[in-house]
């Protein structure tokens, strides 16, 4: 077993062990990838204030997100095709999250279905909804999530149409992979992955196949999903979906103060400041740069979470200090999963927790709930002056 000390170690193993088309799918931003890169590099511009001779015993990272107790302010973000990074990936990640005491969010575009995950965990998980232009299918997904006991609906607002990711087109991304000379040559070197996949039946989009008439193989599925995202989605429709669900709702993909105000007016349980990990609007500002303006505008009306670019526990600490109640992580746990399944997701959570906890102590704090902007050194023009 290799010595894992940081998320980058898991990323290297993920690259080695998962088929190239799935590693590339995770490690992509849209078009030039400027926003994808800046999501992480902007965190590096913020520095932490070292404090000394402060009692650092009896520390805690426990808090609440959207009214739920969490062992640390982290949620596993919805990630499509997770079950292609590692066999039964969504189930493995959900189990690791449950054992650690943080919520897991299942994507609409998962390989394991809502029911598959529910059968394998004992605590309620969160379900992420992509709104489809077929209301009957959207309602069916909502009903299935309710029946499976999901506690929170995360509605993603920043993907009504897909930002282009060049690598996916070049690799011919599909689930399961199409067998071409190139993909067979690549799969031949990923024996661990192949063995896992041979041992599971879950190899297509589990929330769709078997739930929509006429979809039997990947070609039917690709044609169906290609034009199913709801181009007409607006705030009225968001309110309607919130009412269909009738429980806790989080709106994901807010990056603008005006949109944050509209979300807060709807009276949802939380919003996630996010640019989808740099996979949608290339040229948008990083999430961490937009966090303070959004917290200043709506922080007293709605709980604010952040994702996009979290790779270390120090990043989490910075987001919390800037006013986020918690963060979602995407790639940080996907690297762990692709590297070594459930154990890898647990490792990713342990790494992030230790980095956050020790750094919090070195900043002079014992309780994550008391961390504030005083621990930060932020460049004066961090948010930028844009005309
Ligand atoms: C491979 C991949 C697939 C994703 N699929 C979804 C998805 O199905 N639904 C969704 O709301 N967000 C999806 N996202 C976005 C994540 O939920 C999250 O916003 C993003 O990963 C955060 O950035 P990070 O990866 O830098 O942590 C995806 C992200 C990645 C990397």
Q: Tens of pLDDT along 202-229? A: 999 999 988 888 777 666 777 777 778 8
Report pLDDT digits (tens) over 121-154. Answer: 999 999 999 998 999 999 999 999 999 999 999 9
Annotated binding-site residue numbers: 25, 78-80, 107, 128, 130, 156, 165, 252, 274, 276, 279, 307-311, 330-331
Enumerate domains of the chain plus CATH numbers: 7-174+200-377 (3.20.20.70)
- Residue 309 CA, closest ligand 1 atom number: 26
- Mean pLDDT computed over 349-369: 98
Query: Measured from the CB, is residue 77 less than 6 Å from ligand 1?
Result: yes
Query: Measured from the CB, is residue 26 less than 6 Å from ligand 1?
Result: yes
Tell me how far the alpha carbon of residue 165 lies from the centroid of ligand 1, in angstroms.
13
Query: Measured from the CB, is residue 329 less than 6 Å from ligand 1?
Result: yes
- Residue 78 CA, closest ligand 1 atom number: 17
pLDDT of residue 217: 67
Examine the residue annotation and report whether 276 is marked as an active-site residue of this protein.
yes
pLDDT at 50 over 80: yes
Tell me which of 14, 166, 211, 276 is the catalytic residue: 276
Percentage of the chain beyond pLDDT 90 is 91
Tell me how far the alpha carbon of residue 249 lies from the centroid of ligand 1, in angstroms.
18
Tell me how far the alpha carbon of residue 73 lies from the centroid of ligand 1, in angstroms.
18
Tell me how far the alpha carbon of residue 77 lies from the centroid of ligand 1, in angstroms.
6
Across 184-193, 259-268, 329-338, least confident range: 184-193
Ligand 1 pocket test target in 74, 80, 104, 286 with most atoms within 8 Å of CB: 80
Whether the model pTM is above 0.95:
yes
3 state SS for the chain = CCCCCCHHHHHHHHHHHCCHHHHHHHCCCCCCCHHHHHHHHHHHHCEECCCCCCCCCCCECCEEECCEEECCCEEECCCCCHHHHCCCHHHHHHHHHHHHCCCEEECCCCCCCHHHHHHHCCCCCEEEECCECCHHHHHHHHHHHHHCCCCEEEEECCCCCCCCCHHHHHHCCCCCCCCCHHHHHHHCCCHHHHHHHHCCCCCCCCCCCCCCCCCCCHHHHHHHHHCCECCCCCHHHHHHHHHHHCCEEEEEEECCHHHHHHHHHHCCCEEEECCHHHCCCCCCCCHHHHHHHHHHHHCCCCEEEECCCCCCHHHHHHHHHCCCCEEEECHHHHHHHHHHHHHHHHHHHHHHHHHHHHHHHHCCCCEHHHCCHHHEECCCCCCCCCC
């Amino acid at each position: 077993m290799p010595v894992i000390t940081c998320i980058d170690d898991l990323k290297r193993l993920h690259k080695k062990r998962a088929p190239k088309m799935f590693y590339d799918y995770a490690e992509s931003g849209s078009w030039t990838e400027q926003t994808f890169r800046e999501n992480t590099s902007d965190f590096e511009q913020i520095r932490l204030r070292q404090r000394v001779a402060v009692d650092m015993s009896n520390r805690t990272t426990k808090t609440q997100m959207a009214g739920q107790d969490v062992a640390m302010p982290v949620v596993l973000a919805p990630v499509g095709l997770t079950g292609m990074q590692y066999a039964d990936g969504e189930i493995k990640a959900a189990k690791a999250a449950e054992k650690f005491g943080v919520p897991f969010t299942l994507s609409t575009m998962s390989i394991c279905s809502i029911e598959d995950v529910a059968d394998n965990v004992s605590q309620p998980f969160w379900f992420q909804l992509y709104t489809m232009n077929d209301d009957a299918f959207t309602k069916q997904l909502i009903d299935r999530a309710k029946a499976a006991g999901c506690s929170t609906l995360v509605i993603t607002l920043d993907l009504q149409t897909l930002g282009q990711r060049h690598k996916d087109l070049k690799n011919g991304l599909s689930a399961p992979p199409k067998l071409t000379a190139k993909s067979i040559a690549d799969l031949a070197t990923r024996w661990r992955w192949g063995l896992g996949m041979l041992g599971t039946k879950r190899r297509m989009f589990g929330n769709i196949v078997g739930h929509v008439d006429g979809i039997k193989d990947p070609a039917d599925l690709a044609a169906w999903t290609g034009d199913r995202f709801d181009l007409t989605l607006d705030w009225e429709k968001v309110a309607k979906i919130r009412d269909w669900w009738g429980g806790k709702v989080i709106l994901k993909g807010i990056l603008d103060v005006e949109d944050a105000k509209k979300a807060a007016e709807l009276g949802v349980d939380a919003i996630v400041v996010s640019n989808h990990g740099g996979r949608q609007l290339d040229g948008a500002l990083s999430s961490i740069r937009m966090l303070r303006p959004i917290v200043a505008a709506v922080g007293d009306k709605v709980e604010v979470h952040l994702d996009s670019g979290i790779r270390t526990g120090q990043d989490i600490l910075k987001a919390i200090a800037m006013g986020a109640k918690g963060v979602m992580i995407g790639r940080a746990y996907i690297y762990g999963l692709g590297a070594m399944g459930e154990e890898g997701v647990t490792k990713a959570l342990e790494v992030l927790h230790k980095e956050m906890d020790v750094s919090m102590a070195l900043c002079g704090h014992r309780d994550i709930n008391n961390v504030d902007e005083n621990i930060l050194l932020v460049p004066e023009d961090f948010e930028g002056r844009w005309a």
